[in-house]
Amino acid sequence: MAELKLLFEHAGNPAYQTIEGYIAKGGYQALDKALKMERQAIIDQIKASGLRGRGGAGFPTWIKWNGLPKEKTKRHHIVCNADEGEPGTFKDKQLMEETPFLLVEGMTLAGIACQGDAGYIYIRGEFIDAAKAMRKAIDEAYAAGFLGKNIRGSGIDFDLYIHLGAGSYECGEESALMSSIMGERGMPRLKFPHAPLPTIAGLWDEPTLINNVETFCCAPFIVNKGGEWYATMGASTKNSRGTKLFSVSGHVGKPGNYEIEFGTTLMELLEMSGGMTGGKLKACVPGGSSVPIMTAEMCDGAIIGYEEMMQAGSMVGSGGCMFLNDKTCIVQFIWRTAMFYAVESCGKCTPCREGTKWMLQILERIVKGNGQPGDKELLLDITSQIDGRSFCGLGDAAAWPVAGAIKVFPEEFDYYIANGKSIVGSPLPMVPA
């Protein structure tokens, strides 16, 4: 299958970044439609679409939308997770920069469906351009009456705010993100069953809906053209519907964001993005750095879909797809990945705080040629002591790539440990201190 541009249909068109251009291309039709719909009908459309969270976990979106209390007793908050920090992922950045009104409209739709009072877009601190684009779009939407008091004369109010992060990967975790918005240290909070779900008690203990940028951007299309229409895309997969953005990087001819329909194969995605350069395909990390790495054999025939990718031994994740050629040293690649997680661990829980650092120390020793027999087994053991034991998902995300790489490329680790150098002869890369 080829690219299927839905969200990205007008990406790159400067006119689409103005409210006039957006409306000219069919924007805000969904909002006008939604204002005439029952709240539950909007949620039913989301349900019919089969839309699942695009941030990585793939949780059915409608359940969240439906989870906020129907009888409103407190303020309701709509939060957009735009803290896109997963290494290899850069789709939300482009969405915010080139199709900002999709996000504004999507969040407004959620606000209408869930009786939200205000929306907060938590944008990664480094995304200055994205934040500027969103600011401009929000200002224009306010001026044109699509935000603020009495939207389009409907009597519904909805405000939208931008909150810039301060450079912490952990704040992309939804409960840490809420801590950060509330002015606390960016550390995760207790989750169900230890505490109520965010849809019951999130920001300031009030019902809160949190979705990814891409998820919100899908909403206008679903509301406008109907959930059933949306569900026709990706119908060949078990339970994945619609389109998905993939940020393709690595040793490919044309790295960048590609929108594909679920059911496309991983190899088709590789082809779209210009094919391999500098060598044959050796490995692929299909969904951002935290998902298990795949060998070329595993990639062969792998179909992109939440369940299908699980079957192939990895995950769709956030869509940060990295293709690696056969000159790549997997041990060094994993070392660099482990460094990221050791630096970004927030420090709250023991397994992640101590485990990520320890794994990094061992991997660093190995890549510098001082590996010892037993290091591989020790690393595997450490990952099993982190995975599922940490406070939030960051620990799991740090453990999976290491465990996954050792599982599918054991010979690379064995060779590096035994010989003190890479199996592919790759020299030690410089990394920022």
Partner 1 sequence: MHGHKTFDSSALPRALTERPRILVQPLESMAAVAETRLVTITINDVELQVPKGELIVESVKRLGLEIPIFCYHARMKPVGMCRMCLVEVGFKQPDGSVRKMPKPQAGCTLPADNNMVIYTDTEMVHRDRKGVLEFLLVNHPLDCPICDRGGECPLQNNTIFYGPSTTRFTELKRHLPKAYPLSQYVTLDLERCIQCGRCVRFTEEISGDAQLAFRFRGSNMQPSTFQLLDFDSKFSGNVIEICPVGALTSAKYRFRARPWDLETSPFNCLECSNHCSVWFDHRAGKFVRMNGRTNEAVNEEWTCDKGKFGQDWINDSNRSVKVMVRKGDAFAESTWSEAYDQIIAAFSGGHCAALIGGKQSNESLFLLGKLFRDGFKSNHLDSRWTRHLTDDALKLAPDTIASLEHKKTILILGTSLADELPMVFLRARKAWFKNGTQVLNVTAKANEADAFATQSLRYDEDHEADVVAGIRLALEGAADDAFALVARRAQVSAADFRAIAKELGPDTAIITSRSIFNVGDAGDVLDGLQAIARKTGCTFNCYAVNGNDAGAEALGLIGGQGSLNTREILEACVNYRVKALWLFDCNPFDLYPDHHLVNDALESVAFLVVQGSNSSSLTPYASVVLPSAAPAEQDGSYVNMEGRLQRGKGMLQAPGDAKPSWRIFSELLLRTAGGTPYFNPSEILQAIGQEVPSFAGVGDGELLKSAVAGGVTA
Q: Which amino acid is at 394?
A: L
- Of the candidate residues 143, 378, 428, 431, the single one contacting partner 1 (CB under 8 A): 378
Q: Which stretch binds partner 1 (CB under 8 A): 55-63, 98-106, 312-320, 348-356?
A: 348-356
Q: Which of 265, 358, 380, 423 binds partner 1 (CB under 8 A)?
A: 358
Among 18, 154, 236, 350, binds partner 1 (CB under 8 A): 350
| CA 173 – CA 422 distance, rounded (Å) | 35
Measuring CA to CA, how many Å separate 126 from each of 123, 130, 176, 412?
A: 8, 9, 18, 35
Minimum Å gap between C-beta 184 and partner 1 is 10
**Cβ distance to partner 1 smaller for residue 305 or 395:** 395
Distance CA 303, CA 236 (A): 10
Taking CB under 8 A as the rule, does residue 361 contact partner 1?
yes
Helices in 17-74 by DSSP H: which ranges? Answer: 19-24, 29-35, 39-49, 61-67
Q: What share of the chain is helix, strand, coil (3-state, %, to 5)?
A: 45, 15, 40
Residue closer to partner 1, measured from CB, 297 or 377: 377
Please pick, from the candidates 389, 423, 424, 426, the single residue that binds partner 1 as defined by CB under 8 A.
389
How far is 396 from 386, CA to CA, in rounded Å?
7
Q: Quick one: 195 or 235, whose CB is closer to partner 1?
A: 195
Q: Which stretch binds partner 1 (CB under 8 A): 2-10, 70-78, 214-222, 345-353?
A: 345-353
Nearer to partner 1, 175 or 212 (CB): 175
Per the CB < 8 A criterion, the answer to whether 326 and 280 are in contact is: yes
Closer Cβ to partner 1, 205 or 381, answer by number? 381
What are the backbone angles phi and psi of residue 333, rounded to the nearest 5°? -60, -45
Q: Which of 407, 55, 60 is nearest to 244 (CA)?
A: 55
Q: Which stretch binds partner 1 (CB under 8 A): 29-37, 75-83, 209-217, 389-397?
A: 389-397
- 152 vs 365 by CB, closer to partner 1: 365
Cβ pair 137, 100 in contact under 8 A: yes
Question: Measured between alpha carbons, how far is 84 from 106 in angstroms, rounded to an integer?
Answer: 18
Does 354 help bind partner 1 (rule: CB under 8 A)? Answer: yes
Does position 165 bind partner 1 by CB under 8 A? no
Report the nearest approach of partner 1 to the CB of residue 365 (Å): 7
H helices of 248-292, where? Answer: 266-272
* 145 or 388: CB nearest partner 1: 388
> Which residues share a beta bridge with 81?
122, 212
Q: What is the rounded CA–CA span in Å between residue 117 and residue 119?
A: 7
Among 42, 133, 362, 417, binds partner 1 (CB under 8 A): 362
DSSP assignment letter at 428: P
Q: Establish if 344 lies at the interface with partner 1 (CB under 8 A).
A: yes
Decide: is 199 part of the binding site for partner 1 (CB under 8 A). Answer: no
Q: Which of 388, 410, 420, 429 binds partner 1 (CB under 8 A)?
A: 388
Q: How far is the CB of 341 from partner 1 (least distance, A)?
A: 9
Round the CA-based radius of gyration of the chain to a whole number and report it. Answer: 22
- Which of 84, 170, 259, 412 touches partner 1 by CB under 8 A? 170
353 binds partner 1 (CB under 8 A): yes
Residue of 17, 273, 332, 345 interacting with partner 1 (CB under 8 A) = 345
Scanning 84-198, the segments in alpha helix (DSSP H) are 91-98, 100-113, 128-143, 174-181
Give the pairing type, strands 281-285 and 294-295: antiparallel
* 115 phi/psi in degrees, rounded to 5: 55, 40
Which residues lie near partner 1 (CB under 8 A)? 168, 170, 185, 190, 193-195, 342-351, 353-358, 361-362, 365, 372, 378, 381, 385, 388-391
